[in-house]
Amino acid sequence: MTTEETKTAPAEILEKGGSGDTTKIIPDEKKEKKEGLEEEGTTDTAETPLVAGDKDKEGKEKEATKEKDPPPPPPPKVYKQDFEKDVVYLYQFGRTSVLPSLSPFCLKVETWLRLNDIKYENMDHKSKHKSSKGQLPFVELNGEEIADSAVILAKLSQHFGVDPDAQLTKEEKNLSHALSSMIENHIFWIFTYWRSKNPDGLIKGAKLNLQNVLNSKFPKMVLNVVFKLTYIRSAGRKVKAQGLGVHSGEEILEFGKQDLSVLEESLGGKQFFFGDKPSNLDIIAFANLSQIAYIDKSVDYELRDWMAENCPGLMALLTRVKERCYPDWDEMTKTLGMNTHIPVPPPEEKKDDEKEKESKDTEKEPIKEEIKEKEGVKEEEKK
């Protein structure tokens, strides 16, 4: 007897006058129903509860399986809620008086955006926000977060349909990849090593306003100590963990000279590494080599001086990219403005009713002055 049959038995007993013999009632009724259904050409309804039960069981098993699966990760938090479609919102470090950014990865993304005429806006986040990966830079595009400079350029290139490497041959793309890896995984650590060993030279050479960099109103002397304890120590540990830090300063300097020589020879006498048009390699080279070349000359920096003397092609490349992508360079480094590339809209003309109101207020001024004078005279007479 099925569960459904057991549940319906009491009702049938009442209909038969209270008989307790359920074994006779149920088979007879099933037989009658079956015969009636066979006449109509349908199947036995006694099978229906079993099929439904099986389906319910399968559904419950599927639900149980779904519950066991880990929930999908929540979407990254987007800071810019009122975003404009297809505008890239760039989160990066603040400006300095010698460079748009002391982070070559931030400078790389911004230079790529400018070179490809992509509409973007720097977000003034006071160095408080980081990506879900804990990094800067990151961008937000159409409500989606994209982190890591390499991933950012790849996704933006696909979204906007632009590719500075489109004209390159397969061999050139391979060379570009190799030289880019050398720059970002070796030269980067060479000038990071210098920074970690010369914190005062970095502050002076980059003309850092630490109150602006650290978003703090504490005295500069206090912030100087904080900067050394945070960034400098952290950079030193990372350089050592990377492997470069186990070498002497002279050895690391020699490594830098060798890398720069390779880049100088690869550039040759060309405007850019692969001809007359800048590619991703030119962007990466500019973002990293600027960190060496543009340190103020009031600070002793041997690798900067060696580069200026022995790599005229690279120095010319930096100037070329700078002039092409940063026509607002002087304004940017002087004001430390994050969005000097965005034209400031002209002031709106005042409406006629506002002009009329101002005119009436101007007419009332002499009357007010006259009243004040009369009141002053009366006070003097009372005295």
Nearest to 286 by CA among 93, 96, 90, 99: 99
| Co-location of 30 and 126 in the same domain | no
pTM higher than 0.75: no
Domain boundary among 315, 335, 355: 335
| Co-location of 12 and 97 in the same domain | no
Q: How many domains does the chain have?
A: 2
| CATH number of the structural domain spanning residue 156 | 1.20.1050.130
Q: What is the pLDDT of residue 124?
A: 82
Residue that has been written with the tokens 């990066």 in this structure = 92
Confidence of residue 179 (pLDDT cuts 50, 70, 90): very high
Supply the DSSP symbol for 46.
G
77 found inside a domain: no
Confidence of residue 345 (pLDDT cuts 50, 70, 90): confident
Domain boundary among 317, 335, 353: 335
* Mean pLDDT score, 224-235: 86
Q: Which residues are CB-neighbours of 289 under 8 A, at least 6 positions away? A: 183, 187, 260, 263, 307, 314, 318
The arrangement of strands across the sheet holding 144-147 comes to: 120-122, 88-91, 138-141, 144-147
**CB-facing half-sphere around the CA of 250: CA atoms within 13 A:** 0
Tell me the residue range of the domain where 263 lies: 88-335
27 found inside a domain: yes
Q: What is the pLDDT of residue 128?
A: 81
Least confident of 114-118, 197-201, 219-223, 243-247: 219-223
More confident residue, 257 or 42: 257
94, 127 contact by CB (below 8 A): yes
